[in-house]
Amino acid sequence: MRPPEESARCSGTARELAESLGLPFYQVSIAARQVGGNYEATARKLRYEALARMAAEQGCRYVATAHHAEDQLETLLLRIMRGVGPQGLGGIHARRRLAGGVVLLRPMLAVSRAEGLALCRAMGVVWSEDTSNLDTTRRRAAVRSRVLPALLEIEPGVAAKAVECASLGRRTALHLNREAERLKARAASAQGAGVFDREILRSSDAIVLLTLLRRLGPGAPQRALVAAARWIRSRSGERKEFKLGGTSLLCERGVVRSSRGTDSASKPVEK
């Protein structure tokens, strides 16, 4: 993603830091372009897989990355641009599991970039800047170079506030997911798996019903979820089918039938 000489320079800086601390240094190379799909998303996935593999090989329980408060702010802005719900507004998580039970930690998530730079200067550590951050054809880089400076000028504490908003978003999403699971259990029909009592769904809180539908049809656009929720809550007895991602939702007078290869609503949500 960067010129080879720049990558080699950053790798050398990391190696020198490890050696100065008396720590071993390891690196692996990944080939994201060969996989296809979204290049950045593929590279991110392969990076975390490689980090988890390296950690397991060295007997490390944890991997730490240096995402900071401005990274959280960027993520929230990008997700707002996509029109996400409460789950997406949880932003970057400070802790989550990688493959093989390795835990990813982001200890600097509440620290501003300026504070991170100051810490590096105080410790005599070289801060390596990734020049791909200047490529404004990438949406995140465009937000970082054009939008963030303006926001920080208007409100210098906006990154810290984004961290607080993301924390509230995660708590809200967790609460809604719990309520959605309770609703799912309450509305389960004796007719079989994936069949729900429509009257119980109809009388539930609207945002909890939307959360349940999102869990039944992960990846479904918001407008499809809203349309299905409105129909369920209506008094119409007409049979109507909705496509929620890979899930088919059939609304009848007394029941709502959900059919999918696997019941995605029973899968745990990533924390």
**pLDDT at residue 18 is higher than 50:** yes
Cβ-count burial of 121 within 10 angstroms (0-12 exposed, 13-18 middle, 19+ buried)?
Answer: exposed
214-226 confidence digits (pLDDT tens): 999 988 888 999 9
Tell me the average pLDDT of the chain: 90
**pLDDT at residue 204 is higher than 50:** yes
Sorted by where each starts, the structural domains of the chain and their CATH numbers stand as 4-164 (3.40.50.620), 188-266 (no CATH)
What predicted TM-score, i.e. pTM, was given to this entire model?
Answer: 0.82
* Of 12 and 33, more confident: 12
Q: How confident is the model at residue 263 (pLDDT cuts 50, 70, 90)?
A: very low
**pLDDT at residue 233 is higher than 50:** yes
Beta-carbon contacts of residue 69 (< 8 Å; ≥ 6 apart): 109, 110, 111, 112, 113, 159, 160, 162, 163
**pLDDT at residue 151 is higher than 70:** yes
What is the pLDDT, as a whole number, of residue 256? 96
Alpha carbons 219 and 157: distance in angstroms, whole number? 33
156-186 confidence digits (pLDDT tens): 999 999 999 999 999 999 999 999 999 999 9
* Of 228 and 139, more confident: 228
Q: Which of 81-85, 194-198, 254-258 has the lowest mean pLDDT?
A: 81-85
What is the pLDDT, as a whole number, of residue 33? 84
Which tokens sit at 235?
């008094």
What is the pLDDT, as a whole number, of residue 261? 53
Q: In the beta sheet, which residues pair with residue 159?
A: none
What is the pLDDT, as a whole number, of residue 266? 40
**pLDDT at residue 148 is higher than 90:** yes
Q: How confident is the model at residue 37 (pLDDT cuts 50, 70, 90)?
A: confident
Question: CA separation (Å) from 129 to 13, 45, 147, 199?
Answer: 11, 21, 19, 57
**pLDDT at residue 264 is higher than 80:** no
What is the pLDDT, as a whole number, of residue 265? 41
What is the pLDDT, as a whole number, of residue 219? 84
Q: How confident is the model at residue 137 (pLDDT cuts 50, 70, 90)?
A: confident
